[in-house]
Each structure stands twice: as C-alpha cells, then as structure tokens.
Structure 1
Amino acid sequence: MPTTTAAASLADERALEGEFALAGARVVLDPAGALWWPSERALIVADLHLEKGSAFAARGVPLPPYDTRATLALLERIVARWMPRTLIALGDSFHDRGGAGRLGTAERESLAGLARGRDMVWIAGNHDPEPMPGIGGLHAGELSIGPLTLRHEPAAGSPEGEIAGHFHPVARLVLRGRSLRRRCFATDGARLVMPALGAYAGGLNIRDAALAGLFAGNYEAHVVGAARTYRIAHHVCLPDR
C-alpha cells in the first residue's frame, strides 16, 4: 500500500491522461465513470442504486442479487486508483428507502472500508431523499465547493459549474458496422451530468430531449472505455430507435 504522499503523486500522474476544464475547475473524467477533482482530492460518483436487485425481487421480478457487490467492488477499485480525501456520492446511492436495511454483512464492511480515513458525503437523491440509517458519513441536499455545485438532479436553466447525476447518460454509436451503447459523461464545459455507476442502473440516450434540453448549445459525450474516455460531439451520437 503506497503512503498517502506517494498515492497522491500517482493520482496526479494519472490525472494528466484525462484532464477536463469544467467552469474553470480542472477535473479528470475517470474511464470507470467517476470524476476526480485533484485540487480538492475529491472523488465524485453518481447513481450507485445499491440494492436495486433486492428491491425488484421484493416485487416479484427475479434479478441476480449481486448488483450491490459488483458496484461496491468497482467503487473500491476507483478509490484505490485515486486515494481521495473526500468521496462524494451524488444521490440515488440506494435504489429505495429500505435499501440500507437490506445490505449484507460483506456489503456493510465494504462501505465502512470506503469511508475509512476519508470524508464520505451522501447527496440526497429522488430514490433516497433522506439519510440512510446505519451507513455513517455526512448527508446533504447539495454541496458547493469553489466554482462547482454538486447535486443529484440538474437544476432548471443552465447553471455554470453544476455537476449532477439522475439521468444516467449513455451514447449510442455505430463503429465498424456494430452498434454500441455506452455510458458517458454529458457536458458543454459549463455543467456536467455524470454517468450512473450502479450495475443495474440503465441509461438515457444523450440525444433524448430531457438531456439535450439541459445544454444551451453544443454539448459532448465523453464515452467511457476500458482505459480512457472518448470525446464525441453529441450530433455524432445516434438517437435510440
């Protein structure tokens, strides 16, 4: 395990690979679907939708009950990559208000490990508007740090410096005759909508009116890939059929 200073140095080196300017702040779009803010040593994720599988099972829809485990494992890898001082989840961290109560022992230990030695901030979402019992951390409706405001659902108008989730943007592309649909960041350089990190979260096409209407003019998809993000103009992406 690297020291805190060594880990910070490694994170700074990685940041050079994916820098992006958002409302004047230097941030990094992580190819796993998270956002790293180097100056604040803050890692931002959105829409984990933990315990979505168990929520569907309770309604008679059988889904494999491994989504929480898979989502937390991904988040652990991202945290290990950046070693943040603060970890911020932008709402809908749980799929419903009873989600925290359905967590297994291993999943609770994973959450405790993620919070150990750092500040953990839970932003309220429409699926989890109130603090979840027994998970610790700080809870807020939204959070403003320097030029950026972090919230779950994008606000009306075009507020500069907003980072939000809620819409789970995805981009549809055709490459070498194959149709691909991938999670993406949606941004015009002034505000940004995060992709969903949850294993069962699903997604909304970046060309959908609900997403397109958030941006005053041209905007881009930063499509997540195995090792990097790919910057693509919105009009190159295809609408869903």
Structure 2
Amino acid sequence: MSAAHLVVAGEALVLLPEKALLWPREKMLIIADIHFGKAASFRAAGVPVPRGTTSENLAALDVLIEAHDVAHIMFLGDFLHARAAHASATVAAMLAWRARHPRLALTLVRGNHDRHAGDPAASLQIALVDEPHTIGPFAFCHHPDLDTAGYALAGHIHPTFRLATRFDSLRLPCFVVGGGRMILPSFGAFTGGFQMTRAPGDALYVSSGEAVHLVR
C-alpha cells in the first residue's frame, strides 16, 4: 500500500488508499460517509442489493486500526444511512465490533443522514457532536462549504475523479485538497460517488485501493 503524506495547517496527515485520512500525532483515523445500513435500507424498500456491507465496513476499519495504532476514530457524518440502519442484525454487528475495541474513542460529527436516521445506539459509546467540531487547527465537518475558523475536514460529496485515455476511462474515489478545506472520499462499501472537476487551487488525489496518486 502506498499512501500520500501531506502537511496541512502545520500538521502531518496521511491520505490512505483505503479512503481514509490519518492524523498520526493524535493517532486519529478520520472517516467520511460510512453509511451503515444503506444496503438494508434498500432491501427494506424492495430493492435486491447484496448483503454483508456492514461486515465489510467493520472489517475495513479493523485493518486500519491494527495497521496504524489508532486510538480515536472521527466519523465525518452519515454514520447511519436511514432508520432501517437500526435493524437488529446491523446493530448486533456494530456492537460486536465495539466490544472488540473497548478503549477506542469514537466521535461522530452528525451529518444530514444521521439527523434523519437518528443517533446510533448509546451502547456503541460514540461521542455525538455537531459541525464544526474543532480540535487543534482542524474543523471537523460533514458539509464542506461551512464557514469555519480552522482548516475544514469534510465529506458529504463522495468525490470521485475520472481518469481517461483515448480508449478507456476509470472512475476512482478521490481526496480534494484545497487551501482551506479537504473533502474525503466516501469510506462506505455501498455509497456511490460524485464526479469532480478540478477547481482552481484544488489538488486531487485518487485512490486505486492500493495507492494514492496526485492527479497531474
């Protein structure tokens, strides 16, 4: 795996191929738009989508926690997709995961889906905050267009970028790094994405799943 190392607002940050951001000094893993229960919500509406996305998301978190000695996970909104995310099987899987990580600090900056879905189960022991939530030089947000005092780290958009040749194209999740804010890709296994065009002053870093590359 090949990550991208940046200095943002005077702090070393790591853009991980797994579509997450690491703040090493704080041992903090920053995750946007995991959308637990999205597949269950579609199935509840009669749409035949695959099962197992909750387990896939939790397993992906496990890999990152072990690889990077994570002490705190900051979720940048849309932890739950809809009220169907409170289904017993989904909650049971999350509680079993939480039991394996009792010392891990969890914070959720509420996003638009969280407000509709309702707060996660209290037994998950997640600190719930509203945006912007400030720690050090960073303002942790869900929406990237907020006026914040600090450098904003946000999600919401699920950014992707299309790499193209004369004969083929590939759309990959991306980090959008600007002068005053960074937009993280969606971490969830079943979330889709919005195709970005590069705005003046923004740098785009795409993730192949194995490496993070600056778009030149």
Q: Residue type matched to 1:152 in 2?
A: H
Correspondence for 1:26: 12
**Within 2, Cα distance between the matches of 1:176 and 1:80?**
41
**Within 2, Cα distance between the matches of 1:36 and 1:76?**
14
Q: Which deviates more, 151-160 or 51-60? A: 151-160
Ranges of 4+ aligned residues in structure 1 off by more than 6 Å: none
SS in 1 for 2:41: helix
Correspondence for 1:131: 119
Quick check: 1:22–1:190 contact (8 Å CA) kept in 2? no
Deviation at 1:229, TM superposition (A): 0.5
Q: Residue type matched to 1:148 in 2?
A: F
> Do structure 1's residue 222 and structure 2's residue 205 form an aligned pair?
yes
Q: Residue type matched to 1:222 in 2?
A: Y
Normalising by structure 2, what TM-score? Answer: 0.88
Deviation at 1:79, TM superposition (A): 1.3
Correspondence for 2:27: 41
Match of 1:171 among 161, 172, 179: 161
Correspondence for 1:191: 181
Normalising by structure 1, what TM-score? Answer: 0.80
Stretches of structure 2 lacking an aligned partner (at least 5 in a row):
none
Which of the pair has the greater relative contact order for Cα pairs under 8 Å at 6+ separation? 2
Quick check: 1:206–1:221 contact (8 Å CA) kept in 2? no
Correspondence for 1:11: none
Q: 1:98–1:135: structure 2 CA closer, same or farther, 3 Å change rule?
A: farther
Stretches of structure 1 lacking an aligned partner (at least 5 in a row):
1-13, 234-241
Correspondence for 1:84: 70
Correspondence for 1:108: 95
**Within 2, Cα distance between the matches of 1:112 and 1:91?**
22
Q: Which deviates more, 148-157 or 119-128? A: 148-157
Overall identity of the aligned pairs, in %: 30
